[in-house]
Chains A and B, each alone.
Chain A
Amino acid sequence: MAGLSISSVTKRFGDTEVLKGVTLDVADAEFVSLVGPSGCGKSTLLRIIAGLEDPTSGDIAIDGKGVTGMRAADRNLSMVFQSYALYPHLTVAENIAVPLRMRSLTTTQRLPLIGPFLPGAKDQRAEIATAVQKAAEMLEIGPLLDRKPGQLSGGQRQRVALGRALVRDPAAFLLDEPLSNLDAKLRVQTRAEIAQLHRRLNATFIYVTHDQVEAMTMSDRIAVMMGGEILQCDAPSVIYEDPSDIRVAEFIGSPKINILPIELSNAELTLFGQVLGRITEAAQAGIYQLGLRPEALKLTQTEPVMTGTVAHMENLGSEVYAQIALADQTSRVTLRAAPAERHKLQLGAEVGLGLDLQDGLIFDAVGKRQRRIEVAVTHVREVA
């Protein structure tokens, strides 16, 4: 097991720049997710780490040793592919054994008829069989060892692909959207299993996904990628609560964060013409953007900051999400409410919304987080 470091990696395909200088350090035994919308370059980055693609510039190091330019077969990394990429003509046991056969047997020892009788081959083959058996037991696929991939379900194939990755002792595991071909229920189950596997193996994992839930639930750190850059790489709670870019705030969190325009002048923050509060330190006056998670908005009757009508409601049982069309505005905001408040959220009902400015995230006009703008506590509005 080893740490990994990626420094200023760029990649261009012709005229399109897919990666624009990505730098990321992954510690030994860390689980890092690369998450972002499709086309953000996360899979390309993973393939560059694996050695399946060469970076245009920049360096990759595994355990402190530079591997840029080294071919994938020599990097001692394991990879699980989105399509699982199992060899269809080999049984499950043979599939899992492939990485070991390729590394511990010589070309002649691998020959189909005479190979098993060559000196040393027997011991090697016995060792491989033991390792395969161990991997199969860990993933509970022992009974499937004699089947062909074509006879397996999606979830079983996924386990075989995992087995093939963990049968040897690689420097790191690279997983490329391994859950995207599974149905929703299996995905939740496998998610937990992969997280457990990570704890048990205590290995370095780099996990590519477009699903923020997977990233949030499994990772030690999440690297949010967009447009070929890592916008922020932090622990899941930091990514959610303290995003440093409006795109991170918008990508992570479901339903999406509400973004409202606010204005700062004379140390006062104004939203739709109402003064929300004062700031403690001087900051440049101008237009800013206020990000409010659905749970930061509250239903209120007394002195609401905003009013609107319920345009859509989603009842998830344990909580209720409502989209409120703001009065005199074209935009809608999403609100999270407790089930007890459901009766107030009938379609078309008029509601008042209050907010606590301290729960808000302030971004500048281009979307950079403005952490220096702090709201004075005394000026927080009273909410019911």
Chain B
Amino acid sequence: MAAIDAPAAARAPREVNRQARTAWCLASPALALMFLILLVPVVVAGVLSFTNYSLGNSGFDWVGFENYDRLFSRSTYEKMFVATFTYVAVVVPISVALGLGAALLVNSLGRIGDVYKTIYFLPVMATLLAMAIVWEFMLHPTIGVINQTLELSCGTFLEVVPFLANGCADGFPLWLGDRDYAIWVLCFIGIWQGFGFNMVLYLAGLTAVHRELYHAAEVDGAKSAWERFRLVTWPALGPTTVFVVTISCIRAFQVFDTVEAFWPQGGGPNKSTYVMMFAIFEKGVQQNLIGIGSAITMLFLVFVMFLTLIQRWLVERKVHY
């Protein structure tokens, strides 16, 4: 301000001070709130992760890195990492790819596209906990609609499919009760619920693609849809993709509702769906082991922080032209 305004230059120092004071005054409520409700809890959790504190106890002992040591040595937590990373590694790529595919298809349609948009977005709007209960009914081994439908294939030519033949002979999977299926069912529901959101983000990204670029690509000899996608659409969607992948990763790390609804007693058959958020809830809340719960929380924060940093780095380096 002062640099632009020549007469103001004389009284610049006082002016700048006054402006700085006003700025701090105006920012202080937000700063105080951020400090109180975001940073303090993180610091408290960080401190508690080095203790054996339980809610209601009058005191606690410092245990050093014992909680973290447990996280990396006990088989329960190994299963937690396996379940969490399996979920993230399956759900993120598939839900991003499906979101992009659906967005491209919806975008290529006229008015019917709006109908599809609504249909794909419905699972996002629904309460996941309620949806989980519906899925639980559908996946019930005997009375669930899924196994009953599969049973219809028994005695027909469809039995050539090995999965159906085995099911008809030995009974269809227990789904939620089967440790070979549980995590994949969880992934499926995660994808079903999440890709509509990615689709909406990609649709927004697609509106920013310059139409004339497609014409230029056509004149330049890009004949197939794939070539046009490679040359125009995909590069233009770079910033959107980075954002969508980051958001999907964070959401995948946060999976909890379905696990809690399906297996309230602890992480699925043989802890095959014992994801991080559920572990935090089980240790910190159900079993009142605040120390270990805090340690998992800190680890969770590190993962999310890591993802955010990667996103920032990618956005600055690669995708803005």
Q: Fill in one digit per residue for A44-84: 1 if any B CB lies within 8 Å of its CB, else 0.
A: 00010011100000000000000000011110011101110
A238 at the interface (CB under 8 A from B): no
Contact residues in B for A384 (Cβ distance below 8 Å):
none
A213 at the interface (CB under 8 A from B): no
Contact residues in B for A86 (Cβ distance below 8 Å):
216
Asked, given contacts A73-B221, A98-B231, whether A85 binds B321 with beta carbons under 8 Å apart, the answer is: no
Contact residues in A for B210 (Cβ distance below 8 Å):
83, 85
The total of chain A residues at the interface (CB under 8 A) is: 29
Q: Residues of B at under 8 Å CB distance from A? A: 210, 212-213, 215-224, 227, 231-232, 235-236, 238, 321
Set B213, B219, B221, B223: member contacting A87, Cβ < 8 A? B213
Nearest A-chain residue to B318, judged by Cβ: A89
A360 at the interface (CB under 8 A from B): no
Nearest A-chain residue to B220, judged by Cβ: A99
A187 at the interface (CB under 8 A from B): no
Contact residues in B for A89 (Cβ distance below 8 Å):
235-236, 238, 321
A159 at the interface (CB under 8 A from B): no
Sample of 15 A–B contacts (CB below 8 Å): A52-B215, A77-B219, A79-B216, A81-B215, A81-B216, A82-B212, A83-B210, A83-B212, A87-B231, A89-B236, A90-B235, A98-B217, A98-B220, A102-B221, A150-B321
Given A52-B218, A79-B215, A98-B231, list of 6 further CB < 8 A pairs? Answer: A83-B210, A88-B236, A89-B321, A90-B235, A102-B220, A102-B227
A149 at the interface (CB under 8 A from B): yes
Q: Which of A122-161 contact B (CB under 8 A)?
A: 148-150
A336 at the interface (CB under 8 A from B): no
Distance between B156 CB and nearest chain A CB, rounded to angstroms: 42
When chains A and B are docked, how far (Å) is the Cα of A88 from the Cα of B224?
Answer: 20
Are B223 and A73 within 8 A (Cβ)? yes
Are B218 and A71 within 8 A (Cβ)? yes
Nearest B-chain residue to A78, judged by Cβ: B219
A164 at the interface (CB under 8 A from B): yes
Are A72 and B218 within 8 A (Cβ)? yes
Closest 6 CB pairs of A and B: A102-B221, A85-B216, A89-B235, A88-B321, A85-B212, A99-B220
Asked, given contacts A81-B216, A85-B212, whether A99 binds B221 with beta carbons under 8 Å apart, the answer is: yes
